[in-house]
Copies of this chain bind each other. A is one copy, B any other.
């Protein structure tokens, strides 16, 4: 059997640690996750962790970037399936709401991420969700589908509303029942950005 190349095993170990971090952070939260247990669970030691990610927060940052990227991907997929441009924006927002049902997203990206890494705007991952919304709003304003509103401000409010509603849905006793109520209110409120029929 051919000797495994050095670079390959390193990439493999990085991936293993990332996956373990994702699982541990989602299950126990960043603060309670033990790096000893985490690394041991994939047959490594803390040495590998500190070599690959610098420190505990470095691993969190990497996990956040990964999950954040997947969220943007999901949002794109959701908007692609919708009808006109306005419906696509709404679909994107509703997709965010639905995403927060995912414990990984909620715990890692929405709670521990901001608390331990600081404001999402300054993340290297640039908060992919927000970026996508900004682009969408940009186009909608250009096409006259939305009023001539401050692009970033509108995107921020839409994302914030969606994500906060999502936290509500996720923390409730019966998420499935709450979800449509949140989605409906979101559609309504977002309508505030549409031009008045005059």
Contact = CB atoms under 8 A, between A and B. Distances in A.
A111 B122 contact: no
Quickly give the copy total for this chain: 2
Contact of A157 (B150, B164, B170, B172): B164
Interface stretch (A15-23, A43-51, A178-186): A178-186
A162 B152 CA distance: 14
A164 B167 contact: no
28 contacts: A29-B115, A31-B116, A112-B115, A115-B116, A119-B171, A122-B171, A149-B188, A150-B181, A150-B185, A153-B181, A153-B184, A153-B185, A156-B165, A156-B168, A157-B164, A157-B186, A159-B164, A160-B164, A160-B165, A161-B161, A163-B164, A164-B164, A189-B189, A189-B193, A190-B192, A192-B192, A192-B193, A196-B197
